[in-house]
Amino acid sequence: MKRTLKYSGVVLASALLASAAASASDELLNMQKNADDWVMPTGNYANQRYSELDQINKDNVGDLNVAWTFSTGVLRGHEGGPLVIGDTMYVHTPFPNIVYALDLNDDGRIIWKYEPKQDPDTIPVMCCDTVNRGVAYGDGKIILHQADTSVVALNAKTGAVEWKVANGDPKMGETGTAAPMVVKDKVLIGISGGEFGVRGSMTAYNIKDGSRVWRAYSMGPDSDILVDPEKTTHLGEPVGKDSGTNTWEGDQWKIGGGTTWGWFAYDAELDLVYYGTGNPSTWNPAQRPGDNRWSMAIFARNPDTGMAKWVYQMTPHDEWDFDGVNEMILSDQEVGGQMRKLLVHFDRNGFGYSLDRDNGQLLVAEKFDPVVNWATHVDLKTGRPQVVAKYSTDQNGEDVNTTGVCPAALGSKDQQPAAFSPKSGLHYVPTNHVCMDYEPFRVSYTAGQPYVGATLSMYPGPDGDHMGNFIAWDATEGKIVWSKKEKFSVWSGALATAGDVVFYGTLEGYLKAVDSKTGDELYKFKTPSGIIGNVTTYMQGGKQYIAILSGVGGWAGIGLAAGLTDPNAGLGAVGGYAALSNYTALGGQLTVFAVD
C-alpha cells in the first residue's frame, strides 16, 4: 500500500490563522513546534507524543546514562510527565498534587514549590489510586487540576496562585485526576468519579480569571449536553431530540457516569476539541437498560461554545467497564486511496478506531489484541460492536458470573497514551493482555458512596505467560505491524522520536528503548519503582534528554500503592497483579537520561 504522510493539521502553519484574535493557543501552536521544549502533557495538540529530536537515535541509544534524578517526596502512583518550557521543568505529583518548578540551568534547583492543602477525605473517593496526569501551560500560567477538583492557575515564574475555582464536589464522589488542556483563551477540564454515580462533564474556564464559560454534560437534556438535535451527528445522521436521555430508564441519566478523566485533543484548522467519555453507572448493566448515551463515546466540540459537531458511541450499553476516555491521536493519512484527517483511538474495549475527525465517519475498527472476545467485530455502518452472548454480563437481567471475558475491565489499553510517528506512519501502543471474570450484583445509589455493582477477578490472557504487549499499529488498515511481550501490563505512555527510537516504561520499573521499525530492544534501565508515567524528551544546552517519572501505582499497581491484599480489591486488580510486589516497591522519582 502506498502511504502518504503529513504532519497533523493541528500543527501546520495554516493552523495559526484559525483564530483572528490572539490567544493562549496561538502561543501554544507556535511553542509546540519547538522540539527543544515539551509544552503540553502529550507533546502537542494532536496527542502524537512525537519529537523531532534525533540526537538520541537507534545507533547511540544504548549509551544512555542517568544524567540526574529528582525525588518528588510523594509515594503512590506517578502518572503523566513533566513539562519543559525554556530553562524550566514543571514536575507534578499524586495527591497532595505538589508542583515543582526546576531550573535546568542549575542542577534542577527548585525555583518554586506549590503544595496545596487538601482534605485527606478526598483520597477514599479516588478510584484506582491517587494519581494526577499532569499540568498544562498557557498565558504565562501553569494550570493544575487538584484531586479535590480545584482548578488552580499558578504564575509560571513565581508559583503564586492567580486564580482558583472548584470544578466539582468530592463529597458527591467528584474528583480530579486528568491533565487540563488550554485552547484559545480557555482551560478545558474533565471530571472523575464514574464509580460514584457522577454525571460526567467537560467544562471550559476563562484562562484570565477562572470564570466558567460553558459546561457540557455527557448525558441529559439537549441543553445540558450541548447538542443540536438536527445538526449534531452520529455516523452522519442527526442525533435527534433527547438523545442524551431517551436511552436511559427514567432519571437514571442523572447518576449516569460518562466521566471525562482522559486526554483531550484539538484541531485548530477545524476548530474542534476531541475527548472521550467513560463507563455508565452502575457497573451492573441489568440495572440500566438501553444504550446509555452518551457514555462510552467520542465527542467533537467547538471550543468557544461547547456545542457538539458530532459524537460516536463505541460501546452502547456497556457491560464490562470499557471506559472510552483514552486519548484521540490526530494525523493526516491515506485510507482507502483517499487522504483523511484521521482521529485514531485505542479503546479500552480492545478495538482500535480510525475516524474522519471532520465528520465522525467510522473508517477502521479492528482488534489490537487478538484475544479480544466479547465482540466479533464492529459494524462500520452502524458503529455497533457485535457482542458475543457468552461474554455478555447482562444475562437476561440475571446477576451471573461471566467468565473468561477478554479484555478485563482495565481494557486492552487504559489511559496510558500511545505515540504516533509521522516519520514511520505507525502508532506505538502500550497494552494490557488481561482477561477477567465479572459478576454483577444489585446496588443502590447513595451520594458520595461507591456505586459499582460488580465483583471482578483478573488474570493473564489465554496464553498465560504475559500480561502486556507493546505494539506498532497501522491505523490505516487496522493491523499490528509488530508486537513485543511484557511480563506485566505496559502502563506507561510511549514516546516516538525522529531518531527512529520509541521509548516506554514497564511496571517492574524499566525504561526501555526499541527500534521503531522492528520493535527490537535497544536499551533498558531499571528505575527505583514501577513506571506508570509518560516518557518525555527535551533539549537543554545542546544535549537531548529523556525524562520519566517512576512510582508504581494506578489501577494495575493499586495493591502496592494502597497496601491491599484481598484478590478482589482494587476492582479486581489486586489478585491479577499480585506478583508485581516481587519486582518493585513504592517510590516517587524523576529520572533523566542522556548520552554522554
> Is residue 287 scored above 50 in pLDDT?
yes
Q: What is the mean pLDDT of the chain?
A: 94
Q: Which 3 state secondary structure label does DSSP give 145?
A: strand
**CA diameter of the chain:** 65
**Can you tell me the mean pLDDT for 103-112?**
96
What class has domain 5-595? mainly beta
Three state DSSP letters for 443-469: CCCCCCCCCCCEEEEEEECCCCCCCEE
How confident is the model over 310-356, as pLDDT tens digits? 999 999 999 999 999 999 999 999 998 999 999 999 999 999 999 99
Residue 338: is it exposed, middle or buried by C-beta count within 10 angstroms (0-12/13-18/19+)?
Answer: exposed
Model pTM score: 0.95
In the set 148, 222, 321, 500, the catalytic residue is 321
Distance, in Å, from the CA atom of 220 to the CA atom of 242, rounded to the nearest integer, reads: 8
Cell triple for 403:
467468565
State the pLDDT at residue 352: 98
Could you state, in order of their start, the residue ranges of all structural domains in the chain?
5-595
State the pLDDT at residue 15: 37
How confident is the model over 167-206, as pLDDT tens digits? 999 999 999 999 999 999 999 999 999 999 999 999 999 9
How would DSSP label each residue in 193-227?
-GGGTPBPEEEEEETTT--EEEEEESSSSHHHHT-
Active-site residue, 321 included: yes
Count of C-beta atoms within a 10 Å radius of residue 77? 31
Q: Which one, of 33, 64, 333, 40, lies nearest residue 181 by Cα?
A: 40
Count how many Cα atoms sit within 13 Å of the Cα of residue 232 in the half-sphere of its side chain: 26
How confident is the model over 208-260, as pLDDT tens digits? 999 999 999 999 999 999 999 999 999 999 999 999 999 999 999 999 999 99
> Is residue 402 scored above 70 in pLDDT?
yes
How confident is the model over 459-510, as pLDDT tens digits? 999 988 999 999 999 999 999 999 999 999 999 999 999 999 999 999 999 9
